[in-house]
């Protein structure tokens, strides 16, 4: 479980998260929606410990992410994160990219790490691309490579930060199909997305961010089809029409 309590985050004098409260349960799929700059992506980075917070607490399976003395490197092994940009090592093959972190961080023997990498590449539909370098892969394939690389650390949670926003429309579906497979496997997913239709069909809950606050959170279909808050309704009318 991830418990977020009264979290505040500022960049200099600008407060971008203004007291957010949220609980994410194991095996839940939660989508964060809202306008650009509303605080969604920043919250993901705070959950992962990539950004410090100025107030509140984020607790992952009993560990306070931002407490003094927390081993963030160890904690991040539980929290896979995939960004908009793929960030693969260009000189390594897909297989070597996926096997690298298990070898270096978890000290898994090379043969075992390579086998693990093969399994995760196959899971995301890239089993036949293992020996290719990132530049030879399409954008959608590179994004699936990034997902496989995160999965290779065998995390308990996966955080996705607008992973389809940089892709051509025809490539979006293959990445979303991979995320659906993760959902079906029981993985806990927290996703920042602008794809409202995908969020409605695939998430358990949706949280709508507005100006650094969660304006509404609830069942995915309810939030999209029958939003309770005027601000949620205004946002959805703008992005869906």
Domain end (from 154, 174, 195): 154
Q: What percent of the chain has pLDDT over 90?
A: 83
Asked if 32 contacts 196 with a C-beta cutoff of 8 angstroms, the reply is no
Please tell me the total count of domains within the chain: 2
Say whether both 161 and 145 belong to one domain. Answer: no
Query: Does residue 69 form part of some domain?
Result: yes
Return the pLDDT at 40: 95
Query: Does residue 44 form part of some domain?
Result: yes
Say whether both 170 and 228 belong to one domain. Answer: yes
Say whether both 121 and 179 belong to one domain. Answer: no
Say whether both 39 and 132 belong to one domain. Answer: no
Cα–Cα distance between 89 and 75 in angstroms, integer? 23
Tell whether the model's pLDDT for residue 206 goes beyond 80.
Answer: yes
Tell whether the model's pLDDT for residue 223 goes beyond 90.
Answer: yes
Say whether both 69 and 96 belong to one domain. Answer: no
Say whether both 29 and 144 belong to one domain. Answer: no
Average confidence (pLDDT) over 6-14: 96
DSSP-assigned states of every residue in 107-128: ---HHHHHHHHHHHHHHTT-GG
Domain span at residue 172?
A: 2-78+157-240
> The domain spanning residue 30 has which CATH number?
3.40.50.300
Return the pLDDT at 229: 96
Domain end (from 100, 119, 154): 154
Query: Does residue 12 form part of some domain?
Result: yes
Say whether both 231 and 181 belong to one domain. Answer: yes
Among 8-22, 171-185, 224-238, the range scoring the smallest mean pLDDT is: 171-185
Mean of per-residue pLDDT scores for the chain? 93
Say whether both 55 and 119 belong to one domain. Answer: no
pLDDT tens by residue, 156-192? 999 999 888 878 887 888 888 999 999 999 999 999 9
Cα–Cα distance between 28 and 100 in angstroms, integer? 29
Query: Does residue 83 form part of some domain?
Result: no
pTM value is 0.93
């Amino acid at each position: 479980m991830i418990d977020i309590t009264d979290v505040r985050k500022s960049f200099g004098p600008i407060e971008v998260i203004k007291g957010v409260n949220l609980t994410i349960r194991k095996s839940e799929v939660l989508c964060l929606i809202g306008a650009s700059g509303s605080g969604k992506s920043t919250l993901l980075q705070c959950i992962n410990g990539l950004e410090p917070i100025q107030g509140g607490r984020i607790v992952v399976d009993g560990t306070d992410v931002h407490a003094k003395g927390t081993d963030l490197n160890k904690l991040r092994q539980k929290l896979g994160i995939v960004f908009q940009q793929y960030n693969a090592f260009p000189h390594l093959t897909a297989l070597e990219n996926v096997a690298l972190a298990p070898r270096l961080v978890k000290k898994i023997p090379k043969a075992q790490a390579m086998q693990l990498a093969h399994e995760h590449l196959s899971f995301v539909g890239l089993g036949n691309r293992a020996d290719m370098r990132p530049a030879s892969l399409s954008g959608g394939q590179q994004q699936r490579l990034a997902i496989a690389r995160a999965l290779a650390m065998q995390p308990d949670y996966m955080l996705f930060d607008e992973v389809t926003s940089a892709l051509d429309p025809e490539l979006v579906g293959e990445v979303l199909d991979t995320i659906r497979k993760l959902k079906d496997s029981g993985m806990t997913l927290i996703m920042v997305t602008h794809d409202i239709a995908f969020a409605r069909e695939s998430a358990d809950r949706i949280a709508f961010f507005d100006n650094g606050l969660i304006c509404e959170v609830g069942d995915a279909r309810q939030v999209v089809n029958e939003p309770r808050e005027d601000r949620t309704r205004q946002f959805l009318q703008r992005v869906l029409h």
